Chain A
Amino acid sequence: MNKVFENRVRLTVMSILAVNDSMDFNSLKKMLTLTDGNLATHIGSLERKKYIKVEKEFVGKKTLTTYSATQAGRKAFSEHIDAMEKLIKQCK
């Protein structure tokens, strides 16, 4: 089991990024119904682990921050799912 994914927000962010090429901050926030600060903290820890990649660009005067899963992130995520599967099978 991966400690990073013990938290449900981080797990959900990772599952969203696993099926979408990229996703911007506000879309993530809307989907997860979180505050800016809360989401930013969790994203920060995924970023430090190099599980997600952050890209910033300017749209007019505003910055648009988009996130995408890295190769390492996808690998860690799928290993975590495998571990969960194993655990559930054992308990059956």
Chain B
Amino acid sequence: MSTIEDRLKDISDIRSMMEQSSKFISLSGLSGISAGIVGMAAAVIALNFSGTAGTESSGSNGVVFFLIGSVLTLIAALSLAAYFSVRMARKKELPVWSAATKSLLVNLFIPLAVGGLFCLLLLYHNIPFLIAPSMLIFYGLALLNASKYTLKEIRYLGMSEICLGLIASAWVQFGIVFWGIGFGMLHIIYGTFMYFKYEK
């Protein structure tokens, strides 16, 4: 006959395995903070650039600058986020690459890729002022979609990004400012919160 302690241990095993196997739980708060700092820096650079030269008036040069800048920002933010998460997985002795990681990435990148293409189409149709709000909205939707496969708090970050994107769509003249708030400040706030909740 098994004891009650055995059963309680069984239950805690079941719970941790269910979570570990279906969710990527090594997402570090530091990933959010570092991505936020990159986002903030990118927004400041973009603001200065558009302040002096004016992104729209500078024509094709502005577009090229904008595209290269966006890609560099994305690469920098993603690699820093990945670095801190891999570090955390190693520390917790959890596998980095698992079925859960795959589900997370697939569900994150489908809406994100659609958003990226949509933004390129906005650029093609010469509607640049809607690019920053669209990035926020699609990024928010991507997070919302991916939240099923990682820590549940990311849902709130996703919803905040969507709200901010909608507000930014109404006040398009402040597009870059809202972009900086969404990709910079919100990430830093979220990352700090997660860091103190799970890693301290």
List the interface of chain A (C-beta within 8 A of B): 1, 6, 8, 11-12, 15-16, 18-20, 23-24, 27, 30-31, 81, 84, 87-88, 91
Contacts and interface: CB of A to CB of B under 8 A. Distances in A.
Contacts of A27: 95, 98-99
Nearest to B3: A91
5 contacts: A11-B13, A15-B14, A18-B18, A20-B21, A27-B99
Contacts of A11: 10, 13-14
B17 A8 contact: no
Contact of A19 (B2, B11, B22): B22
Contacts of B200: none
A87 B7 CA distance: 9
Interface of B: 2, 4, 7-8, 10-11, 13-14, 17-18, 20-22, 95, 98-99
A84 B10 contact: yes
Given A12-B13, A19-B22, A84 B7 contact: yes
A1 B107 CA distance: 38
A15 B10 CA distance: 10
B18 to A, nearest CB: 5
Contact of A87 (B4, B21, B22): B4
Contacts of B4: 87-88, 91
Contact of A31 (B2, B11, B21): B21
B10 A20 contact: no
B17 A31 contact: yes
A23 B11 CA distance: 21
A15 to B, nearest CB: 4
B14 A12 contact: yes
B122 to A, nearest CB: 36
